[in-house]
Amino acid sequence: MKSDSLQIGGHTFKWGSRTHVMGILNVTPDSFSGDGILAPPNSTGTGVSGAVGEVDAALQQAKQFLESGADILDVGGESTRPGSQPVNAEEELGRVIPVVEAIAGEFPDALISIDTYKARVAEAAFRAGAHILNDVWALRADPELASVAAAFRAPVILMHNRSNPASVEVRAQLGNAYLGSTYENLMEDVKRELLASVELAVQAGIEQTQIILDPGVGFGKTREHNLELINRLDEIRLLGFPVLLGPSRKSFIGFTLDLPADQRVEGTAATVAVGITRGADIIRVHDVKEMARVAKMADAIVRTNPR
């Protein structure tokens, strides 16, 4: 390990001692999981409309997550589901900054990560109270992003991603999935590309002790790729960095169990439990209460010092 711990404000992450839980706060109208806080156009779904309603809904969800055991609240304003439309920086800022400010004000001890690949959004989020950068493009989408994270001394989560918007499979009820890129060797390719992003981070002045790796389950990978990645997650861990696993409700679970996104809690639990046995340090999930319990039970079995 580059370091066995990470200090963020008053929070200490001692890697290997227990699994940390990141709760997903989607400030979007088109989340694949159906949990977006914003209401889709012409929709009568669970989302809400209007800035005040959005912030109130986000605060309520944040409170529930924290009470259920979340260590980090991950705020994102652009859906990453296959086939989703990109959001410009102005719209993303309008979605996430009021939410970050409100959470930081209401829950000053809460750790907030900003799920963005745009430097402008990240900088505004850090100024609003966010602590961590969660970048699904691992510093490769915006050349200014690494220097922003370095300037704020923010830990960064670097996710492997070979998503191709032109290669999306649509199945009724199960949602969209990437067909996956061609890999010469799945694990070696993922490791090599993650380390290339680590080098980008280091060159920008980000300390290695502040880098967390995410193998990118569901991003530019087939169902079989995703299953293999989770089963061999320990190989990513051997790179020497803490590892985040984000399998929650994703389509590879749906395709395996033939179930829609709102019926994938048990499948997610299985992936989380196996991921923990393979060395996951953080799990990024929608169902915080349930997955925090899964993590606690798995930790009791495999960790030397479980909570």
The set of catalytic residues is: 250, 284
Q: Is the dihedral of CA 43, 254, 297, 16 positive or negative?
A: negative
Rounded to an integer, what distance in angstroms lies between the CA atom of residue 109 and that of residue 124?
19
Name the residue type at position 260. Answer: P
Rounded to an integer, what distance in angstroms lies between the CA atom of residue 267 and that of residue 227?
12
Q: Is the dihedral of CA 160, 66, 89, 176 positive or negative?
A: positive
Phi-psi region of 139 (alpha: psi -120 to 50; beta: other; left: phi over 0): left
Task: Please check whether residue 102 is in contact with residue 127, taking contact to mean a CB–CB distance below 8 angstroms.
Answer: no
Q: How many CB atoms lie within 10 A of CB 220?
A: 19
**Which residue from 143, 32, 28, 36 is spatially nearest to 94, judged by alpha carbons?**
28
